[in-house]
Structure 1
Amino acid sequence: MLRPEPMMYFRVIVPSAYETELIDALISLGAIHLNPHAYRLSLSLPPLLQAVLEGRVGPNELDVDAALDVIRRNLSESDKLRLEFEAKYREYRELEGLRAVLLRLKDWGVEPVVFRSGDKPVVFKLFTGSRSGVERAIRRLSGLKVICRSAPLDGEAALLVVYPRWAEAAVSDATEGAGLRELALPDSLKVPMDEALRAMEQEMLRKRRELLEVLSEVANLMKSAVEYEYASRLELLEQLSKLCRDAPRRLRELREALVDLAALEVCAKLLRGELPPESLGDGVGQIVVRVRGLISRGREEEALGLLPPKVAERLRPVILKVEELEASMRFTEGLAREVAEEVEKEIASARAALERAATLALVEGGVRSGALLRACNERLRKALGWVDRLLRGEITAEVPPAKDRLILLNKLSEEVTERSQEAEAVVNVVRKAREEVLSGAGNLPDEDALEQLVVAVERCLESLERLLSYGPFIEASIRAQSLIGELRIFRNRRVYIAEGWIPKRFAAQLETCVRERIPRVLYLKVWRLRPGEAAPVKPRVRGMLRYLSKLAYSRDVPSYWEVDPSLLFIALFAAMYGMMFGDIGLGAIILGLGAWLYASKRGLLGMSPESVRFLGSLMVLCGASSMAFGAAYGVAFLVRAWEPALLSPIHDVGKMIEVALIFGVAQLVLAMSLSVVNYLLARDYFGAVFSGTGLLGLTYYIVGVYLAYNVAMSGFDLGCLLREDLLPLTALEGALLVLIPASHAIRALLGHRGEATEGFIELMELLIAYPANSLSYIRLAAFAIAHEIFGVLAEAMAESMGLIPSLVFANLVVLVIEGFAVGIQALRLVYYEFSTKFLRGGGFFFQPLHLSASEEG
């Protein structure tokens, strides 16, 4: 319980074709915590393209050969950008060849200006070709009055021939016969050598910029493609997740619409005589018969008195209309018979509207409570049961088939959206029909219309149930999709990487699951964590302890290589609360309120249900502890109920302070012992021994407490420290006070940064913090004494306001104010005095993709 569940690290690599199978395997296992990393975009692109996007490659740093290789590996032969890059690459290579020629001419001491055309008697020409061809040409020219210079050039050879103009034909025959090609320098390079080289460098730089621009365009296009593919999948999953979160609201609306439809149907059956009023039961049928009878006899006002006030108010205009029409009948005797009949029809129509509205208002309550649902048709009852089952979450979780999964999910998203719109239209139609009937302005829908509305609701329920059955998979997929990395290797091939942590007990299950579900696994390894490696913390707490452990984790989450202090936090907090607030009566009230909050499972005062359960569990713990100490103190509702079993805080003040200090010393010794254990778990043996909270610090504290006790017992005479029996301990205390900071100073001299500052801080803690922390526990006694003083105060007030009222007043004040203040004090002692001695924190909780069946077990 004091250590988190053992974890192991895993890494899985599969070809990109099996990404879906990888996600399915991880989700089916569920109890894994994926490690987020930057594989997706930083490694899914070739490193050169990633460097270009990040601006780490400029024209001068560009490796054009590597760039050409990347282009050819990732783009097809007919791709426009590839063709453009290859053309610019050839141009760049030609420029490199010319630069090599210029450098060779510079080695020969030949200026490019000599190649300018003119009528000079001596001609300079350059030729290139194979080395054997150059050698043949030199042999053929040896009989002529020419000068030849040759040198290797880019896998071939270059030949410079200087000859008199009259030998032009012979030189041409010799070079052509040897298979050489004339290399003509551009006119822009027929300038002095330094100027030609500068021009060549500028031209090559310009060409490199053009190559980099094309490469950058390719990188951006590939990045956009990767991001679009990833974003499209994630967007679809998030859209489905949003629909899942919206489903309960939609279901509640559909249930409301179905209830209204049921009420409309029951009302229609009653008015058509298909359903006898007596069958309604619960007295509703009798009221319906009575209301309809009053309306038919023209006693509308009496009928309104039997209806809900809001409905009666809405129907008042209809009654006024009936009264006006009846008044007009008195003046129709001299009018045409047709006019009188028309008025009578209007009166009958108004009374029929009244009867419909009154009947609907009366049966609605019974339908909503479920009492009258038996009067509805079977299809409508099944639809209502279907909605209730979905609202209760009674849905079998499913995984969509791997084949064409994205297409299926996309169709489901469109289907749910479309049918939700249909359902919204149904809700509006039903709501409008109900409102019109209740206001006396509309007729009841016929059977066919009701049937069509129910069918539309059923279609929506079918889609929503399928969506909700995929809900756990969708949520887990969103987490997995965003945490699984993509890596590009070997030309266009991509692999997907998943790595993270898994509880040791599921390690074998992971290997089996991955091997069975994925046809081809490139790499799979599960290994033990090395000391100090980061890992999530999975606490071993269940039930009410799961809520109480938040008391510790609110301080900080311990790292994987630390003792989990949650149970110690809970036990010490409860003990200190009870010690300061020992009262069996008030403790019982706190316990009762806490039990009610814990069992309510509802939000309260803006708090979430989870927070309310945490508060309830904390109050149960505090109440139980308060009752236990109250029994020991013999106190109930601030009144002495029996003789104390241990001590009375108000009568044994000195002993109470002594108990509080002993409790504090024991707590600090425990804290430093845990610190030693944490150092050992992290393989920090220096800290375990030489730290202020290590073995030396623990020894310093225990010896210091013993010496302080002897000083106090001698009337605070410091001279007692030099007594023969205490002198060795006094010397040891002084040596430890020097040794602990000195050890950090030595480490600082050996090159460990921050150790000198750490040593000074620990010296201050040894001198000031340890005594202050110990004395801080006196507040345990102070609040225990103050609690009983309130009882004395209540007895003093009894003379003026009576014993019972004074006790009630005092108990209310103590319960509200002291009960809260004591909790703060206990929390402070645990958070500051106790936890700072050993808890380093910085951990993070284990967050599984979802709670698998194996995990639930």
Structure 2
Amino acid sequence: MFQAEKLLLMNAVIRKNRASSTLARLLRTGFFHPFDANVFSSRIEQVKPWQQEYESARWDTIAQRFKKIVDEIGFLPSASAESAGYIEAESTVEEIEEILEALIEKRNNLQQKLTDSEALLSKRVVYLPISVKAEHTFIHIEYGEIQADKMSVLENLLVNIPHVLIPAETRNRSVLLFVVVLKKDVGTFEKIKKEIGWISAVDVVVSDIPIEEQKLKIERLKDEIKKINADIREISNRYRNILDKIAVSLNIHQKLNQAKKHTYITETTTILSGWIPEQEKQSASEIIKNSDPVAHTEFIPAELSGVSAEEIPVKMNHNRFIKPFELIVGTYGIPRYGTIDPTLFVAISFLLMFGAMFGDIGHGAVFLVTGLLMLWRTKNGLRQAGALVSYVGLSSIVFGFLYGSFFGIEFNPLWINPMEDISVLFRACVSFGVLLLTAGIFLNITNFVINKDIRSVFFDKAGLFSGLVYWAGIGLAAGFIAKRGGAVIKITAIIFSICILAIFFNSLINSVREKEGMLVGLIESFLHIFEIIIGYLANTVSFIRISAFALNHFGFFMTIFAISDILKNAGMSGLSIPFMVLGNIFILLLEGLVVMIQCLRLNYYEFFSRFFIPGKSLYQPLVLKANSEDIKQYLS
């Protein structure tokens, strides 16, 4: 619980023809985290990185084609199915591709016609049963606009030549019309156009199909496209069984390839490495032995593996009650393998700080119910967040009883009323800060002891001497405030002075060793001491914000009740209750968020900064959910 779970680095040399089946069995266990075997393979001659085999490359091609198919037909694999062999998978994919190709081509053609028809109707369309684009032998067709009051003039001018005049539509005192004349009279018509102010209708689209018929055509095209889409989706049902089998095979292929990328090979062997929990050593050993009796396997404790501590993956080891707080730690970083995991400490400190700043039974109950709903209605990471919200709700309820507050309505508190016992609240919050900083110092010392860095145990900024300076400083400040002297204060002052001198001379010696000069060393040593003292002082004072936000919480309630009374006195009692409801919602949303941020800040910057050593990656084993028969079918 205080450290990540112990891991072993498993290295194995296996005959090449047994590598795939061995890896598959390891991945089925759910505890094998592949690691680059180059670290181990450097001890073996003529080793090269894994290269994809012909069969694997063929499955890659199937995977690409399969993805296009399932994206098109909307197929979702079922949870359980057998696997498919390569020949069966390829023939099925090819068959479906042929069906899809014909349907998609037909759909694309219909879609183009639909697009063209809709584009046509989006313009100014006029129906004319004669094609104006066709080349006619004896007649000339032209369309345009003239002023409505010029219609009679046009008719008089055309009286001496054979013509057909077809008014199409009238808008804004203009008439759109078609004129049909003989080709021999085109010259005469051109003169008439100038005389009456003829305007060419460039925005008009002439169609020889009636508008209503065009709309019906669009509906028919849409129906045909829907039918084709239904036919495409039906492929998913018709081929479901075999598609499920192919999906299983491709999952096996993907996971094996992902694991093989970390392996190295010789002419006859495959070298694989991976991290496993210490308690799984026997299981892993039996899998290797059963897969290849002549295989060579070694299990090395992570700390002795030669892999740097930050490169070793971290497997958190928490029960389901503490696990939600991994979200808070994970947001800051991953604790390095072998160092202290602060999750349990965060669980305690976060809940205490949140409850202290947001103590109210009613508000806590709202958070509790919200968290339980999240647990009930969501999955995975959101469930963890739901548990976290439930926990802070419970903490708020507990502090609500301690403060005597239910939606701001006060009753006899079990501890204090924050507005009446401000000094008690301030002392409690500062004392909590001292305890949390002290825990950070002890955790930091523990980390250095684990890593056998004895010098840092004593001289780090959060080491033993700095901690003694902090605690002795607190003792001297308390004695000064209480105006007490005596032997205890004298001894405390001596401890304070000795630790200051030890830190000072250690810093000075380091500066001289680094050839920075005596003067620079003296300045750096004074600044180092000053930084330690100011840092602890600022960190401790920072915890006063807990009491400040507790008072702020009650202050919001007082403001809401005061405005509610003003509304009542002003004869607006009907607005009083809605205002109180909205005010509580405001507190829950805004102040709840701010308090959450303050809890994170105090943990991250005041607590974690004392000891946290980051790693790089979490332990994430590759998991292959397939039975042995499926794997055999895939490998055959």
TM-score, structure 2 length as denominator?
0.69
Report the counterpart of residue 506 of structure 1 in structure 2.
280
Q: 1:2 deviation in Å? A: 1.8
Structure 1 spans left out of the alignment, 5+ residues: 48-222, 255-389, 401-407, 602-608, 715-719
Change (3 A) 1:31 1:471: farther
Per-residue deviation, 1:471: 4.7
- Matched with 2:20 is 20
Would you say the 8 A contact 1:31–1:503 is kept in 2? yes
1:545 CA drift (Å): 4.4
- Report the counterpart of residue 89 of structure 2 in structure 1: 412
Which structure 2 residues correspond to residues 42-53 of structure 1 after superposition, within 5 A? none
Q: Are the equivalent residues in 2 in contact too, given 1:537–1:845 (CA < 8 A)?
A: yes
Tell me the secondary structure at the aligned position of residue 470 of structure 1.
helix
Q: Residues 672 and 762 from structure 1, CA distance in 2 versus in 1: closer, same or farther, beyond 3 angstroms?
A: farther
Counterpart residue number, 1:394 = 79
1:245-293 deviations in whole A, cap 9, x for unaligned? 6787566x46xxxxxxxxxxxxxxxxxxxxxxxxxxxxxxxxxxxxxxx
SS in 1 for 2:52: helix
Question: Match of 1:496, SS?
Answer: strand
Q: Which amino acid aligns with 1:9?
A: L
Match of 1:733 in 2: 496
Of the candidates 466, 475, 478, which is equivalent to residue 254 of structure 2?
Answer: 475
CA shift for structure 1 position 508: 1.2
Q: Tell me, yes or no, if the aligned pair for 2:18 and 2:291 is still in contact at 8 Å.
A: no
Partner of 1:565: 342
1:820 equivalent among 593, 601, 617: 593
Preserved CA contact (<8 Å) 2:14 2:271: yes
769 and 505 in structure 1: CA distance in 2 versus 1, 3 angstrom threshold: same
- 1-side partners of 2:625 and 2:217: how far apart? 50
2:333 partner amino acid: D
What is the CA-CA distance between 1:725 and the residue it aligns to?
A: 3.6
SS in structure 2 at match of 1:501: strand
1:319-398 map, 5 Å = 393-396=78-81
Residue 807 of structure 1 is aligned with which of 565, 580, 586? 580
Structure 1's 557 and 698: CA in aligned 2 closer, same or farther, altered over 3 A? Answer: same
Q: CA deviation at 1:739?
A: 0.9
Residues 1:690 and 2:459 are matched in the alignment = yes
Q: By how many angstroms is 1:797 displaced?
A: 1.1
1:670 pairs with 2:444: no
Query: Which residue among 469, 472, 479 is the counterpart of 1:710?
Result: 479
Q: State how far apart, in whole Å, the 1-side matches of 2:534 and 2:368 are.
A: 39
The C-alpha deviation readout for 1:340-367, integer Å capped at 9, x for no partner, is: xxxxxxxxxxxxxxxxxxxxxxxxxxxx
Listed one character per residue, the Cα deviations across residues 418-455 of structure 1 (whole Å, up to 9, x for unaligned) are 425536867999999xx9999689999xxxx9xx9999
Distance 1:4 1:506 in 2: 15
Report the Cα distance in structure 2 between the residues aligned to 1:44 and 1:536, rounded to whole angstroms.
Answer: 25
CA distance in 1, matches of 2:63, 2:347: 37
What is the distance in 2 between the residues matched to 1:659 and 1:459? Answer: 70
Aligned: 1:788 with 2:554: yes
CA 732–545 in structure 1, closer or farther in 2 if over 3 Å, else same: closer
Contact 1:426 1:456 in 2 (8 A): no
Alpha-carbon contact 1:419-1:459 (below 8 Å) kept? no
Mapped pair 1:497 → 2:263 = no
Aligned twin of 1:464: 243
Q: Which amino acid aligns with 1:579?
A: A
Distance 1:745 1:844, change over 3 A: farther
Pick from 650, 660, 666: which aligns with 2:419? 650
Contact 1:34/1:480 (<8 A) preserved: yes
Distance in 2 of aligned mates of 1:570 and 1:495: 48
Contact persistence 1:239–1:413 (CA under 8 A): no
Out of 387, 390, 399, the residue aligned to residue 620 of structure 1 is 390
Partner of 1:301: none
Give the structure 1 partner of residue 331 of structure 2. Answer: 554
Cα-to-partner distance string for 1:328-349 (whole Å, 9 max, x where unaligned): xxxxxxxxxxxxxxxxxxxxxx
Cα offset, 1:552, TM superposition: 0.6
Residues 586 and 30 (structure 1), Cα distance of their counterparts in 2 relative to 1, 3 Å cut: closer
Alignment of 1:153-192 (within 5 A): none
Q: 1:13 to 1:439 in 2, by over 3 A?
A: same
The structure whose RCO (Cα within 8 Å, separation 6+) is larger is 2
The separation in 1 between residues aligned to 2:623 and 2:319, in whole angstroms, is 17
Where does residue 848 of structure 1 map in the other structure? 621
Q: Distance in 1 between matches of 2:66 and 2:220?
A: 39
Kept in 2, the 8 Å contact 1:234–1:481? The answer is no
Distance in 2 (CA, whole Å) between partners of 1:647 and 1:245 is 64
Q: 1:710 to 1:425 in 2, by over 3 A?
A: farther
Q: Residues 639 and 397 (structure 1 numbering): CA distance in 2 closer, same or farther, change over 3 Å?
A: farther
Residue identity opposite 2:303 in structure 1? R
- Is the contact made by 1:581 and 1:784 (CA closer than 8 Å) also made in structure 2? yes
Q: What residue number does 1:140 align with? A: none
Distance 1:620 1:513, change over 3 A: same
Distance 2:329 2:587 in 1: 26
* In 1, Cα distance between equivalents of 2:535 and 2:565: 47
Q: C-alpha distance in 2, partners of 1:680/1:834?
A: 19
Question: 1:467 deviation in Å?
Answer: 1.8
State the match for 1:596 in structure 2. Answer: 373
TM-score normalised by length of structure 1:
0.52
CA–CA separation in structure 2 for the residues paired with 1:572 and 1:617: 16
Tell me how large the CA RMSD over aligned residues is.
Answer: 4.1
1:638 aligned onto 2:412: no
Partner SS state of residue 726, structure 1: helix
Q: Which residue in the other structure is 1:271 paired with?
A: none
> Does the 8 Å CA contact 2:362/2:397 hold for their aligned counterparts?
yes
Q: Which runs of 5+ in 2 are unaligned?
A: 115-215, 569-575, 628-636
Separation in 1 of the partners of 2:65 and 2:383? 29
Name the SS of the counterpart of 2:275 in structure 1. Answer: strand
Q: Figure out how many residues of one structure are paired with residues of the other and give that number.
A: 503
Q: Is the 8 A contact 1:737 1:766 kept in 2?
A: no
Residue 315 of structure 2: SS of its match in structure 1? coil
Contact 1:591 1:623 in 2 (8 A): yes
Amino acid at match of 2:402: A
Q: Which amino acid aligns with 2:621?
A: P
Shift of 1:416: 3.0
Distance 1:748 1:504, change over 3 A: farther
Are the equivalent residues in 2 in contact too, given 1:38–1:485 (CA < 8 A)? yes
Q: Per the alignment, do residues 43 and 510 of structure 1 end up closer, same or farther by CA in structure 2, a change over 3 Å counting?
A: closer
Taking the aligned partners of 1:620 and 1:563, their CA distance within structure 2 comes to 26
Query: What is the distance in 2 between the residues matched to 1:852 and 1:745?
Result: 60
Q: 1:614 deviation in Å? A: 4.3
What is the alpha-carbon distance in structure 2 between the residues aligned to residue 409 and residue 760 of structure 1?
Answer: 73
Q: Which residue of 1 aligns with 2:605?
A: 832
Counterpart amino acid of 2:419?
I
1:769 equivalent among 525, 532, 535: 535
Question: 1:848 Cα deviation (Å)?
Answer: 0.7
Which moved further from structure 2: 409-418 or 815-824? Answer: 409-418
Equivalent position amino acid for 1:705 in 2:
I
Q: Do the aligned partners of 2:354 and 2:396 also contact (CA within 8 Å) in 1?
A: yes
Distance 2:289 2:515 in 1: 47
Change (3 A) 1:440 1:456: closer
Residue 796 of structure 1 deviates from its aligned partner by 1.8
Please tell me whether the aligned partners of residues 671 and 834 of structure 1 are also in contact (alpha carbons under 8 angstroms). Answer: yes
CA distance in 2, matches of 1:807, 1:454: 54
Write the letter of the residue equivalent to 1:415.
Answer: T
Q: Where do residues 140-219 of structure 1 align in structure 2 (5 Å cutoff)?
A: none
